[in-house]
């Protein structure tokens, strides 16, 4: 069974969309969305520097746009997707791409919602200097109490020996000086806030208002939620979880447990792929993985889909 996943914030790099613009229709689609959400996705995906695309209000729409245009090169219609992909999920903001790809939201609506999400989270992050750091290695039963003692939140429990801590700049500095026993490294992430923590509570109310205006459908393909790894079958519940997830931890470890229970045999990560396939290689041994980074990966991705496509 093939699982398709969409990465979250921090996976963007300067110019990562440049080669995709050479494909028919991609630049036109990006310019349409740019006009809809008042954000130049082409500029930010090709010419902007690392600091510009680190901005939450920019990074989030950019990542969802990249996920959608890359996935649609391989699975252009809802029927293509639902008959070939056994389950889909996204990490953090990647959940919005997964919601669009599984038919919960149309793509234009998803882009509008992620723009509002990014702006609201950027505003919430501006109140206090906050951030996130990945802890590599270490056991959860040691890491989690250590973070609690420092006042930090385990914002992403990613499995495969990776937990992401979020909090104030001072708390993260203290973590860098006093890492948990067994942790190999503490790596600051390219994000501009303590996402998936109480610091994001103001953004939740903004998204609740936005969500009330949406037209929602039930997913045509299994949708696996960051909240608890559950397969969510009702579109309204998917959107409710998308809103609340802004201020609650991402449980990617539980998502991968669900993939395993569903019988995953292959995992495809859409552009800008790499992070989630890296986690899967460690947590899902024996599962074929492929990260979609540039159009050069499309042939291999198409072959993977052909080999592992499912109608289950």
Q: What is the pLDDT of residues 189-201, one digit of tens each?
A: 878 789 999 999 9
CA distance 93 to 58: 12
pLDDT category at 204 given cuts 50, 70, 90 is: very high
What are the residue ranges spanned by the domains of the chain? 2-125+198-308, 130-188
Q: What is the pLDDT of residue 312?
A: 45
139 torsion bin: left (phi>0), alpha (psi -120 to 50), beta (else): beta
Taking domain 2-125+198-308, whether its CATH number is 1.10.530.10 is answered by no
The yes-or-no verdict on residue 311 having pLDDT over 60 is no
Listed in sequence order, the residues at least 6 apart from 195 whose beta carbon sits closer than 8 Å to its beta carbon are: 9, 92, 121, 125, 132, 155, 166, 246
Helix (H, G, I), strand (E, B) or coil at 101: helix
Beta pairing partners, 183: 137
CA distance 295 to 61: 20
- pLDDT value of position 191: 81
Q: At 151, is the pLDDT very low, low, confident or very high (cuts 50, 70, 90)?
A: very high
Residues 264-308 have pLDDT tens digits of: 999 999 999 999 999 999 999 999 999 999 999 999 999 999 999
Q: Specify the pLDDT at position 103.
A: 98
Take residue 10 and report the two structure tokens written for it. Answer: 């921090």
Where helices occur in the chain by DSSP H, the ranges are 26-37, 41-46, 50-54, 56-74, 78-84, 94-101, 107-125, 140-149, 169-177, 201-211, 235-245, 252-262, 275-283, 298-308
Strand ranges across the sheet with 153-159: 153-159, 162-168, 130-137, 183-188
Task: Tell me which of 92, 133, 199, 220 is the catalytic residue.
Answer: 92
Chain-centroid distance of CA 51 in Å reads: 19
Question: Maximum distance among all alpha carbons in the chain?
Answer: 53
Task: Write out the H or E segment, with its range, that includes residue 232.
Answer: strand 231-232
Fold agreement (2-125+198-308, 130-188): no
Alpha-carbon distance 55 to 197, whole Å?
18
User: Among residues of the chain, what percentage have pLDDT more than 70?
Assistant: 99
For residue 215, pLDDT over 50 is answered with: yes
Specify whether 92 is catalytic. Answer: yes
Banded pLDDT at 160 (limits 50, 70, 90): confident
* Mean pLDDT of the 41-58 span: 96
Query: What's the chain's Rg over C-alpha atoms?
Result: 18
Catalytic residue among 11, 70, 146, 196: 196
Strands 87-90 and 288-291: unpaired
- Cα separation, 173 vs 296, in Å, equals 40
HSE, CB side, 13 Å, CA atoms: give it for residue 128. Answer: 16
Fold of 130-188: Alpha-Beta Plaits (3.30.70)
Instruction: Give 98-108 pLDDT, tens digit per residue.
Output: 999 999 999 99
Concerning whether 82 is annotated as a catalytic residue, the answer is: no
pLDDT, position 20:
98
**Are 254 and 154 a contacting pair, CB within 8 Å?**
no
pLDDT for the residue numbered 115: 97
- Compute the distance between CA of residue 33 and CA of residue 30 in angstroms, rounded to an integer: 5
């Amino acid at each position: 069974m093939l699982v398709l996943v969409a990465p979250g914030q921090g996976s963007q790099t300067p110019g990562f969309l440049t080669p995709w613009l050479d494909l028919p229709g991609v630049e036109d689609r990006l310019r349409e969305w740019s006009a809809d959400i008042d954000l130049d996705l082409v500029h930010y995906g090709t010419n902007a520097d690392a600091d510009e695309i680190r901005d939450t209000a920019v990074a989030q729409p950019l990542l969802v746009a990249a996920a959608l245009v890359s996935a649609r090169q391989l699975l252009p219609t809802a029927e293509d997707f639902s008959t070939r992909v056994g389950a889909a999920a996204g990490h953090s903001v990647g959940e919005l791409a997964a919601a669009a790809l599984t038919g919960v939201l149309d793509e234009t609506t998803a882009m509008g919602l992620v723009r509002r999400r990014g702006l609201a989270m950027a505003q919430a992050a501006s109140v206090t200097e906050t951030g996130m750091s990945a802890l590599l290695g270490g056991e959860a039963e040691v890491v989690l109490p250590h973070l609690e003692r420092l006042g930090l939140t385990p914002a992403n429990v990613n499995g495969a020996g990776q937990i992401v801590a979020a909090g104030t700049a001072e708390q993260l500095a203290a973590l860098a000086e006093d890492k948990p026993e067994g942790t190999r490294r503490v790596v600051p992430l390219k994000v501009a806030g303590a996402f998936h923590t109480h610091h994001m509570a103001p953004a939740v109310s903004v998204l609740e208002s936005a969500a009330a205006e949406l037209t929602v459908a039930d997913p045509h393909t299994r949708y696996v939620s960051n909240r608890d790894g559950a397969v969510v079958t009702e579109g309204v519940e998917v959107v409710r979880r998308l809103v609340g997830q802004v201020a609650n931890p991402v449980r990617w470890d539980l998502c991968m447990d669900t993939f395993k229970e569903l019988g995953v045999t292959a995992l495809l990560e859409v552009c800008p792929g790499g992070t989630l396939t890296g986690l899967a290689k460690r947590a899902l041994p024996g599962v074929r993985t492929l990260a979609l980074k540039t159009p050069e990966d499309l042939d291999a991705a198409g072959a993977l889909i052909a080999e592992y496509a499912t109608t289950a």
